[in-house]
Amino acid sequence: MKRLLTVYSIATIFGLSAVASEGLLEKAKNTGLKAIPENKIELYKLIDNPKNPITDEKVELGKKLFFDPRLSKSGLISCNSCHNLATGGVDGVDAATGHKWTQNPHHLNSPTVYNAVFMQKQFWDGRSPDLEDQAQGPIQAAPEMAATKEHVEKVVNSIPAYVKAFKHAYNDPKFKPTFKDVADVIAVFERTLVTPSRFDEFLNGCDKALSKKEKEGLKIFIDKGCVSCHNGVGLGGTMQPFPAVGKYKYANIGDFKGDKNGLVKTPTLRNILQTRPYFHNGAVWDIKEAIKIMGETQLGVKITDEEADKIKAFFKSLTGKKPYIRYPELPASTNKTPKPDLH
């Protein structure tokens, strides 16, 4: 009888645990948290741009240009310099640093390029509506790649392999790539940089995908109200007031105030443990401190050490599987290719 009671007790505990997990899953879905689609067709509905359709040829060409430093004035800086795909899609410094080691004049941190396709707006002030428009900015920005449209066009059109690749990608034997075309194919490549994680498996019904502590962290994350901004497929990406209800203790670092309405783009939490430092000005290096600050600044609630530790555990489940990226072999320059300018 004692053994039967023990077995019954264990079964009861597991049964209750399963019910609790089902309740948490429904709660997560009801608050707007969504999984990266497993089905490729459904995924492409989310990440494709009808005005700039994804094709294998554009992706491969965009990848090469993403890694090509010759697009920059100095010939030293590529898109990958600030959005390093080997280090979470970021540069790992507090302020983006570009041409002649110039820091971003507003002390803005480089957001990750992974899962950027799920963001409703691009840049911290949301000034770009999509990745195609965003890709044009850093190339021309003086503190970043410091190039001109003319420089980029001269580089690409001076290299026969690039010209041939563009003609093939656009199925046009007379195609002559412009600056916009370069940005467009880079954006196509960036659209493919999505990172499904164990959290997506949980949202798709796999209860074992998350540990007990990660589930506890998810519950706290929801109950505290973090999902009011960090939701959707990207767990971020909308424009929100910052600070909202409390003072941001590091507001004196840089002069960024958001867009004209004081709104700031909510960063994605996917791969968040790989993308420190945190906040628009890169002022915080400890994720638990960042979690507590968000509670005080955005929600007006206190998050304890224990709660922050559990939320951090949940964040671990957001570390996703990166697409395999083989560093490309870039085509050789010619006598017509603009020379590097370090000044």
pLDDT tens digits along 106-140: 999 999 999 999 999 999 999 999 999 999 999 99
Q: Mean of the pLDDT values across residues 82-98? A: 97
Catalytic residue (one of 132, 144, 190, 214): 144
Same fold, 29-42+195-316 and 48-191: yes
Closest by CA to 112, choosing from 328, 276, 287, is 276
pLDDT at residue 14 above 80?
A: no
Which pLDDT value is given to residue 20?
A: 64
pLDDT at residue 233 above 50?
A: yes
* 16 band by pLDDT with thresholds 50, 70 and 90: very low
pLDDT at residue 18 above 70?
A: no
Which pLDDT value is given to residue 6?
A: 45
What is the Cα–Cα distance from 301 to 56, expressed in whole angstroms? Answer: 47
Instruction: Provide the token pair at 189.
Output: 């490549």
* 12 band by pLDDT with thresholds 50, 70 and 90: very low
What is the Cα–Cα distance from 329 to 273, expressed in whole angstroms? Answer: 30
Please give the residue that has the higher pLDDT: either 3 or 76: 76
pLDDT at residue 8 above 90?
A: no
What is the Cα–Cα distance from 248 to 294, expressed in whole angstroms? Answer: 9
- Cα distances (angstroms) measured from residue 171 to each of 64, 168, 174, 178, 343: 19, 5, 9, 15, 38
Contacting residues for 37 by C-beta, under 8 A, at least 6 apart: 43, 45, 46
The CATH superfamily label for domain 29-42+195-316 reads Cytochrome c-like domain (1.10.760.10)
Which pLDDT value is given to residue 22?
A: 75
Kindly compute the dihedral angle of the four CA atoms of residues 187, 86, 337, 332, in this order, to the nearest 10 degrees: -110
pLDDT at residue 243 above 70?
A: yes
pLDDT at residue 3 above 70?
A: no
Q: Mean of the pLDDT values across residues 145-157? A: 98
Q: Give the pLDDT confidence of 271-314 residue by residue, as tens digits.
A: 999 999 999 999 999 999 999 999 999 999 999 999 999 999 99
pLDDT at residue 13 above 80?
A: no
Instruction: Provide the token pair at 105.
Output: 């004049």
Q: Give the pLDDT confidence of 21-54 residue by residue, as tens digits.
A: 779 999 999 999 999 999 999 999 999 999 999 9
Q: Mean of the pLDDT values across residues 208-222? A: 98
Annotation says 38 is catalytic: no
Q: Mean of the pLDDT values across residues 227-248? A: 97
Binding positions are 79, 82-83, 99, 226, 229-230, 294
Which sequence spans correspond to the domains of the chain?
29-42+195-316, 48-191
Which pLDDT value is given to residue 17?
A: 52
Provide the β-strand partners of residue 122: 128
Binding positions for heme c are 79, 82-83, 99, 226, 229-230, 294
Q: Give the pLDDT confidence of 55-68 residue by residue, as tens digits.
A: 999 999 999 999 99
Q: What is the mean pLDDT of the chain?
A: 94
Question: Structurally, what CATH architecture does the domain formed by 48-191 represent?
Answer: Orthogonal Bundle (1.10)
Total-model pTM: 0.93
